[in-house]
Structure 1
Amino acid sequence: MRDITKSTRAVTGLALAAGLVAAVSIGIAGGASADPASTEGTMTNANQPPKGARATVQVSPNPTTHRGQEVTITGHCGGGTGLKSVLGGFPGRPALENIRILESGPDRFVAKANVAGNIGNGVGPVFVDCGGEAGVTLLVTHV
């Protein structure tokens, strides 16, 4: 059996995370329209994400450098009603702990969280639910 180097595992993990984020984003946005004559769920402007995926989210600092580090999650809801929840990582494998929503307004939201104590080096998604609009970004960890 061939040994896989750390860099190969990191590149493979990054590719899988990017593919998963894209798949989840498409799933959250509703995917392609079922009716070919309909414009719902399709992009009308190359610079505008589809309805349902218009929230923006940033994490700072990114990349993070140690377990337990506090990060700030900011963004806007892109037409959604306001920040409802933040998910860092995946169910059963959280990348963020102790998530606290400080401001939940539709035009600007702020949340704080701590990098999970069991996190290693890698990349993971940070999702936001903004009541009708969702957003995702990647959190990079170097611990």
Structure 2
Amino acid sequence: MNKRLITAIAGVSLTAGMFGLGAGGASASDQAGTTAVVTAAPKPPKGARAVVQVGPNPTTERGQEVTITGNCGGGEKLKAVFAGVTGKPVLKNIRIIDDNPERFVAKARLDSRIGNGVGPVFVDCGGEMGVTLLVTHV
């Protein structure tokens, strides 16, 4: 996977996430009894529709096991999980437990040299990619 693809997917996913955050909250006019118009977040482009979550998130100890779950958003099945973009591993011993495109599950451990920060976790679903952010407080 090249850096341009990772950067594009991360940008699209983060932008969609930011639009989605405001869609569900109550505005001041809602609280005052008037109706506000809520618009849905735009659908991510084809190729970036997989959805991924990591738990626990944030993580709090080095070597901690995390669970990666989600759906492939129309992709074939879970084929791979990647973490980080600097070439230093964030997750080790990544194991795909269930590659079901409608509800995949993978397990991994935080690297023992991980520090405090935020980093991306990517999934490859054979035609669709997804990304989420993993927060570490160790």
TM-score for the superposition, normalised by structure 2: 0.72
Q: Where does the alignment leave 5 or more consecutive residues of structure 1 unmatched? A: 1-19, 30-44
Provide the residue aligned with 2:97 in structure 1. Answer: 102
* Partner amino acid, structure 1, of 2:122: F
Total equivalences in the alignment: 109
Residues 68-114 of structure 1, C-alpha deviation per residue, up to 9 Å, x if partnerless?
00000000000000000000113621110000000001111000000
Q: Where does the alignment leave 5 or more consecutive residues of structure 2 unmatched? A: 14-39
- Rate the CA distance shift 1:27–1:47 in 2: closer, same or farther, 3 A: closer
Provide the residue aligned with 2:61 in structure 1. Answer: 66
Q: Percent identity?
A: 66
Shift of 1:124: 0.4
Residues 35-93 of structure 1, C-alpha deviation per residue, up to 9 Å, x if partnerless?
xxxxxxxxxx8431100000000000000001000000000000000000000113621
- Rate the CA distance shift 1:21–1:142 in 2: closer, same or farther, 3 A: farther
RMSD: 2.5
TM-score for the superposition, normalised by structure 1: 0.69
User: 1:28–1:134: 8 Å Cα contact kept in structure 2?
Assistant: no
Q: Which runs of 4+ in 1 moved over 2 A?
A: 20-24, 26-29
Shift of 1:27: 8.1
